[in-house]
């Protein structure tokens, strides 16, 4: 990848819409410019584009204060005489981080790095506190946030972690948790057979089936009966299954019987929203009780959450944090920004994944190595992310891991021997221009650039039954490169034309057979015709075609990115 030199001026404080300011003066805040672009503002009111590193700590593993020391710890102890003092280790790490043009410390950085002239974040991890709700599959139980004991535990943790940082000028804000979910809102995937290892209930069923007298049990039953006129008869009719007492759901759970009514799914979703809203409210109250000065950065979603979870967090979160390991970072989280209007911070990012390495580039005429693909596609993802008006920074995952050899790559900036790894050179280069790229495109005029040279990302309702993966193709001087690539699929652009704001595309795609989570997708061939209408960088329309002779028709959405 070749980075052009950009020296755009960052926005002045006067260019920000003062009505959008959030945060306490004198500490890190957020605001949107009058042109519509969000930034962090540092304590001196200067725009700050966050470029952080996760898990900077002696243990060399994720988890921060919870982490058990790994092989990196032995290197640190010997190289820096860590047991005698931490200063030389801290200085060396921060030196490397700044050398690579990072400017912040991400989640799971340990306390010895705090307040060392580098902006940092703290992660509370409320979900690690009990008591917990029952878990059907005995994995990742949700905390019982309705239990008085959990409220006490959450308050105690916030007091311990937030009080010491209340007046820190270097703290950006708090993550409440990492990649949490709020329970299932349905019973899809229900397996009533003997080998029911994948079986799990909705959150509502779990709580309705708890022991009588538990606070969550009473709250859930009051919630559900209120939605059905306090009548078991109406509840039974709505759920299309007989329920004459509170004990009946326990029996249904024991028997693993499905609940067929559509009203049940609506009720289950509403209960997840109630749970999520309660969680965000409590987390906000606990943090604000002991630190009213710093931003609340959300819970680091591992994937775009449903709209009802976003509704739940809106009153209680300043920034939405999300993690991403896919090349479609801009496209994937644009819907979250459009729905909420809140700025987004990427809590974890790394380009060492199969989607970066194994899928050919659209303009790849001669097969490239996985390394070359990764170092082309990865930086391009970060450049596009810097263009997004709502994304205000990213965090590289992670500080340390093993030594990369051959095609076996690791994620770390340094290896267990504390030497810089293969990603360092490219990260230094791309980090040096992200702020300028963002500032240069503050007016978002790039969104209306002619779709003559650049790259399209296409999202279909489905291309073959149940298959929703995206595909990409590139275009040069109004002529598409012939190949189209996606995960386990490749094809060609058969036709491409434009009439004013309408775009017509015809694709031929070959699919490989693969199995994902016990579902097998058959191999085959598809031909599709697309009719798209442009709206800025986005295109909307429909497609018609066939897969293995079966007619396929549905919605399609596309993004176009000119060269950055």
Give the start-end residues of each E strand in 171-309: 171-175, 295-296
> What is the rounded average pLDDT of the residues 500-513?
95
- pLDDT per residue over 109-165, tens digit each? 999 999 999 999 999 999 999 999 987 666 678 999 999 999 999 999 999 999 999
Query: What is the model's pLDDT at position 194?
Result: 36
- pLDDT per residue over 341-372, tens digit each? 999 999 999 999 999 999 999 888 889 999 99
Residues 229-266 as b/e (b if ≥16 CB within 10 A, e otherwise) read: eeeeeebbebbebebeebebbbebbeeeeebeeebbbe
- 11-25, 36-50, 184-198, 533-547: which range is least confident on average? 184-198
Query: What is the model's pLDDT at position 185?
Result: 79
Query: What is the model's pLDDT at position 68?
Result: 83
Is a pLDDT exceeding 80 seen at residue 64? no
Domains in the chain: ranges and CATH: 13-182+273-446 (3.20.20.80), 203-272 (no CATH), 449-561 (2.40.128)
Is a pLDDT exceeding 70 seen at residue 190? no
In angstroms, the CA 409 to CA 421 distance is: 10
Is a pLDDT exceeding 90 seen at residue 464? no
**DSSP state at residue 340:** H
Query: What is the model's pLDDT at position 188?
Result: 62
62-66, 135-139, 276-280 — which one is most confidently predicted on average? Answer: 276-280
Q: Please say whether the dihedral angle defined by the alpha carbons of residues 84, 85, 91 and 97, taken in this order, is positive or negative.
A: positive
Mean pLDDT of the chain: 93
Query: What is the model's pLDDT at position 192?
Result: 43
For residue 490, which of 451, 532, 538, 523 has the smallest C-alpha distance?
523
Q: 196: pLDDT confidence band, cut at 50, 70 and 90?
A: very low
> What is the rounded average pLDDT of the residues 368-378?
96
- pLDDT per residue over 238-261, tens digit each? 999 999 999 999 999 888 888 988
List the 38-41 sheet strands across, edge first.
29-32, 38-41, 47-48
Query: What is the model's pLDDT at position 1?
Result: 47
Query: What is the pTM (predicted TM-score) of this model?
Result: 0.95
Q: How far is CA 469 from the centre of its chain?
A: 17
**DSSP state at residue 189:** T
The values of phi and psi at residue 547, to 5°, are -125, 120
Is a pLDDT exceeding 50 seen at residue 2? no
């Amino acid at each position: 990848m070749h980075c052009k030199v950009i020296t755009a001026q960052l926005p002045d404080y006067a260019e920000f819409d003062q009505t959008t300011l959030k945060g306490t003066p004198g500490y890190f805040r957020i605001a949107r410019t009058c042109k519509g672009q969000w930034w962090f503002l540092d304590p001196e009111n200067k725009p700050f584009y966050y470029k952080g590193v996760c898990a900077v700590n002696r243990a060399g593993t994720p988890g921060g204060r919870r982490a058990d020391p790994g092989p990196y710890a032995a290197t640190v102890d010997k190289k820096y005489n860590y047991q005698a003092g931490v200063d030389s280790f801290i200085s060396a790490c921060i030196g490397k981080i700044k050398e690579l043009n990072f400017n912040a410390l991400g989640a799971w950085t340990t306390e010895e790095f705090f307040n060392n002239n580098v902006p940092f974040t703290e992660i509370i991890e409320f979900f690690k506190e009990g008591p917990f709700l029952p878990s059907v599959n005995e994995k990742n139980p949700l905390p019982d946030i309705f239990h008085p004991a959990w409220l006490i535990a959450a308050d105690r943790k916030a007091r311990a972690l937030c009080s010491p940082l209340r007046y820190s000028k270097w703290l950006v804000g708090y993550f409440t948790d990492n990649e949490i979910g709020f329970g299932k809102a349905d019973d899809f995937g229900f397996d009533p057979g003997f080998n029911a290892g994948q079986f799990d209930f909705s959150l509502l069923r779990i709580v309705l089936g708890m022991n009588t007298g538990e606070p969550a049990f009473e709250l859930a039953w009051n919630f559900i009966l209120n939605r059905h006129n306090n009548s078991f008869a109406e509840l039974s009719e709505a759920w299309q299954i007989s329920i004459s007492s509170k004990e009946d759901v326990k029996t249904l759970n024991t028997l693993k019987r499905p609940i067929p009514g559509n009203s049940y799914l609506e009720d289950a979703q509403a209960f997840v929203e109630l749970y999520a809203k309660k969680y965000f409210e409590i987390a906000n109250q606990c943090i604000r009780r002991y630190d009213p000065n710093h931003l609340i950065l959300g819970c680091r979603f591992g994937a775009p959450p449903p709209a009802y979870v976003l509704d739940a967090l809106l009153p209680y979160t300043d920034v939405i944090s999300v993690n991403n390991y896919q090349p479609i970072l801009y496209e994937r989280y644009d819907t979250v920004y459009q729905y909420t209007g809140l700025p987004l911070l990427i809590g974890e990012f790394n380009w060492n994944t199969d989607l970066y390495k194994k899928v050919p580039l659209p303009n790849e005429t001669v097969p490239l190595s996985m390394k070359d693909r990764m170092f082309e596609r990865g930086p391009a993802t970060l450049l596009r992310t810097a263009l997004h008006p709502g994304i205000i920074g990213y965090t590289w995952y992670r500080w340390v891991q093993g030594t990369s050899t051959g095609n076996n790559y690791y994620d770390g900036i340094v290896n267990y021997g504390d030497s810089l790894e293969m990603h360092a050179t490219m990260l230094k280069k791309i980090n040096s221009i992200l702020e300028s790229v963002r500032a240069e495109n503050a007016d978002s005029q790039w969104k209306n650039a002619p779709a003559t040279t650049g790259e399209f990302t296409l999202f279909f309702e489905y291309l073959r039954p149940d298959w929703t993966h995206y595909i990409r193709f590139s275009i040069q001087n109004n002529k598409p490169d012939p190949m189209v690539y996606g995960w386990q699929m490749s094809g060609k652009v058969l036709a491409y034309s434009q009439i004013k704001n309408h775009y017509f595309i015809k694709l031929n795609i070959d699919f490989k057979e693969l199995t994902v989570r016990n579902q097998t997708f058959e191999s085959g061939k598809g031909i599709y015709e697309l009719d798209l209408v442009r709206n800025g960088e986005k295109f909307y329309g429909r497609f018609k075609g066939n897969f293995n002779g079966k007619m396929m028709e549905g919605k399609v959405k596309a993004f176009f990115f000119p060269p950055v």
